[in-house]
Structure 1
Amino acid sequence: MCLHTPACPTADRPDREAARVVAAHPEQGWSLLCNGALLFDDTGELLPDGRVIAPHRPLAATA
């Protein structure tokens, strides 16, 4: 699916979020990456094969 050089990471790789955004819909809270993954503002993901990745925001640092 990706035509970039170098190619973006595929949706099954851990670094899949590094793929380029091909469609952004910030008003709806999601972006489509060139590897077919949907990335949501809460850091959750929906992969092309239907798998759901739960939100994984970093924990806030406590002083």
Structure 2
Amino acid sequence: MCVHNPPCPSADAADRDAAHTVAGHPDQGWSLLCNGVLLFEDTGELLPDGEVIGPRRPSAGLAVAA
């Protein structure tokens, strides 16, 4: 899918989020990366094979118990 040189990280690479954005929809909270990953503003991801990667940061407004 990627035609950049050097090529973007594949969808199964640890640094897959570094791929170029090919379609950005910040109003809807997601971006499509050139490696086929759907990246959501909460840092969750949907990989091309259907695997769901949960958000890596807590949602705004959640308090952390002390």
Q: What TM-score, normalized by structure 1, do the two folds share? A: 0.89
Counterpart amino acid of residue 11 in structure 1? A
Rounded to whole Å, the distance in 2 between the matches of 1:14 and 1:44 is 14
Rounded to whole Å, the distance in 2 between the matches of 1:32 and 1:26 is 11
Cα displacement (A) at 1:23: 0.2
Detail structure 1 runs of 4+ shifted over 6 Å in the superposition: none
The runs of 5 or more residues in structure 1 that have no matched partner are: 59-63
Within the alignment, does 1:19 sit opposite 2:15 as a pair?
Answer: no
- 2:50 is aligned to 50
- 2:41 is aligned to 41
- 1:7 is aligned to 7
Percent identical across equivalent pairs? 72
Within the alignment, does 1:28 sit opposite 2:46 as a pair?
Answer: no
Give aligned pairs, total: 58
Q: What TM-score, normalized by structure 2, do the two folds share? A: 0.85
**Rg larger for:** 2
Alignment RMSD (CA, Å): 1.0
Counterpart amino acid of residue 39 in structure 1? L
Rounded to whole Å, the distance in 2 between the matches of 1:14 and 1:50 is 17
Counterpart amino acid of residue 23 in structure 2? A
